[in-house]
Structure 1
Amino acid sequence: MTATTAVPAQRNDSRLGIALMVLTTVIFSLQDGLSRHLAEATNVYMVVMVRFWFFAAFVVAMARAQQGSVRAAAATSQPLLQIVRAVLLVAEICVTVYAFTILGLAQSHALFAACPLLVAALSGPVLGEKVGWRRWAAIGVGFLGILVILRPGVAVFDPRGLIALAGALMFALYSLLTRFAGRRDSAATSFFWTGVAGAVAMTAVGMFHWEPMSAANWALMVLLSGMAITGHWLLIKCYDVAEASTVQPFAYLQLVFASILGVTIFGEALHPTTVVGAALVVAAGLFTLWRERVRRLKEPA
């Protein structure tokens, strides 16, 4: 008899994938709370810089473990695109953490929830993808939700909300550029460039904003960096064990967990318009994700 070795099929465990996504959103929410505290204690640039130092060390270690060498992990035919992606991400994180400090976690996340809608809206001009009328309708509903949150034209309009919205737009562009880079580079290559190029870019800025930190805040900084690494690792495992279309809707739980932290830890107040607007944005985002899944199922194999 001749023994044969079967190639294991990719795992598709929806329950485990959902559990990992929920755990990931909890960790990312705690990470956002720590980022807000540390940015208020020191400054945004220093917090993001130190966080990316740990992130870069993680991706270098992962590259050596999985691909044998840093050179193999860094091999790409589009280095400029990868650098632009990384710089855009560190800039987005700086903008978003700054929004946490001036706007709060709850309202910032309510506006950041528009990111999937912005990805859908920009996928046409950036990636050349077709956006049907149903997704455009969902984008319109999501935009209405954003207006409800921002309350333009009334006395309580807070222009600081535009900062959080700018962060969502930057992350949407980063996501689209990641998709574009994925046409020629592996996810591991893009991940490597995100960590290393991001750390270099952030160090070039952050070193000019260095401030001494207390031992307690350094401990929290290490904890924050560990959470960021753990969250990204769990996210990778999540997409490894389950389909993205199954687990992605549960990413919206980060809005819930972050809002709970904002209210209970930082004393934030949830305005009714924030809740209503966020509900509209999330509903529109979930519909957009569903339409994306339908579109992919219709595509020929």
Structure 2
Amino acid sequence: MVKGIVLAFLAFAVFAWGDAIVKAIGHDLDPFEVTFFGYLAPLLLSPTFMKPGERLSDIVRWKSPWLMALRVFFISVTTPLSVMAFTSLPFAEAFALLFLMPSLVTVLSVLVLKEKVRWRRGLAVCAAFIGVLIIVRPGFREILPGHLVAIAGALCAAGGVIMGRMIGTTETRYTLIGSVFLGTTVIAGVLMIPGFTWPTSTQWWLLLAFAATAFVAQAFFVIATTYAPADRLGATQYSQILWALLIGALFFDEWPDAIALFGIAIVVGAGLFIFARERTLNKTPSPATPSAPPEQLGALNSSSQNP
């Protein structure tokens, strides 16, 4: 169990550094181009996640095609939205808004899955939205497109989780992982065409580093699930906010003020509470794995990503 938790913490640390690379190159390259090259290499290497008996064709052979298509779409769109958020907002602030995902999952579970939510989780959801208002402070400072993009990314990640819950355990691990890599690469590859520019040699190295973090972090989390149930590892994703604060301060000269830190603490605390309550009520599914930077959030609980 301890080994699994340590590996999960390591996986999300790698994810956080991958997001830092995204932030470093995202101002100069189209976000869809960053996403495409960041996921192309993991897609080509995804067969390493196959279990005995699984086949390459499983990546598109879905037992629940409509639900899988929606899940792949939601999680795939989350990545470029996250790239946009990281490049236009302070690192920790973008993470905090993306961590709104568990609260949005709770809301969607009521609307889509018709689940009953008890008052404690309801209060946690309200607290999370209050935390977002404290971070963004509408009326006191300008609301940037990045704020809206980050919230949209959290909503798409939550949609991926809901689709994952509706799918259940009918799909193989390789199908869940590989289909997200494939969907993200294809969608980003098409959308990058209008704004495509050939990367410089430095940008190529950074893109390669981003691709490496996406694959290595995924691999660490998959290995972690062999030592501990995936639903017990989900809370480790919140360690990313600490990495975000550290990386933002040291490399991007971003120092959140006291009010922003208070809002971040509320959002993260609410997310952890919701996670704990769902485990207590046995409503958290055992996901397959995360798929990538806060797309990892969506993947983590469905898939993820799980994430």
What TM-score comes out, normalization by structure 1 length? 0.87
Which residue of structure 2 aligns with residue 85 of structure 1?
71
Which residue of structure 2 aligns with residue 36 of structure 1?
23
Counting matched residue pairs gives: 282
User: What's the RMSD between the two structures over aligned residues?
Assistant: 1.9
Out of 20, 26, 36, the position equivalent to 2:7 is 20
Question: Structure 2: how far apart are the matches of 1:170 and 1:72?
Answer: 24
1:143-198 deviation digits (Å, cap 9, x = unpaired): 111111111232x2424322211211111111221222235323332222112232
Contact 2:35 2:79 in 1 (8 A): yes
Deviation of 1:57 after TM superposition, in Å, equals: 0.9
Question: Structure 1: how far apart are the matches of 2:231 and 2:39?
Answer: 29
Question: Structure 1: how far apart are the matches of 2:83 and 2:59?
Answer: 29
Which residue of structure 1 aligns with residue 81 of structure 2?
95
Out of 58, 62, 67, the position equivalent to 2:49 is 62
Pick the structure with more helix per residue.
Answer: 1
Which residue of structure 1 aligns with residue 276 of structure 2?
290
Deviation of 1:73 after TM superposition, in Å, equals: 4.7
Change (3 A) 1:158 1:72: closer
Out of 119, 123, 131, the position equivalent to 2:109 is 123
Deviation of 1:54 after TM superposition, in Å, equals: 1.4
Which residue of structure 2 aligns with residue 158 of structure 1?
143
Deviation of 1:19 after TM superposition, in Å, equals: 0.7
Change (3 A) 1:128 1:239: farther
Within-5 A mapping of 1:106-255 = 106-154=92-140, 156-160=141-145, 161-255=147-241
Deviation of 1:209 after TM superposition, in Å, equals: 2.7
In the alignment, structure 2 segments of 5+ residues that lack a partner are 284-307
In the alignment, structure 1 segments of 5+ residues that lack a partner are 1-12
Contact 1:48 1:90 in 2 (8 A): no
Q: Which of the pair has more CA radius of gyration?
A: 1
Question: Structure 1: how far apart are the matches of 2:48 and 2:226?
Answer: 20
Partner AA of 1:256 in structure 2: L
Question: Structure 2: how far apart are the matches of 1:181 and 1:135?
Answer: 24
Structure number with greater CO (CA < 8 Å, separation at least 6) is 1
Q: Percent same amino acid at aligned positions?
A: 26
Deviation of 1:136 after TM superposition, in Å, equals: 0.6
Contact 2:35 2:184 in 1 (8 A): no
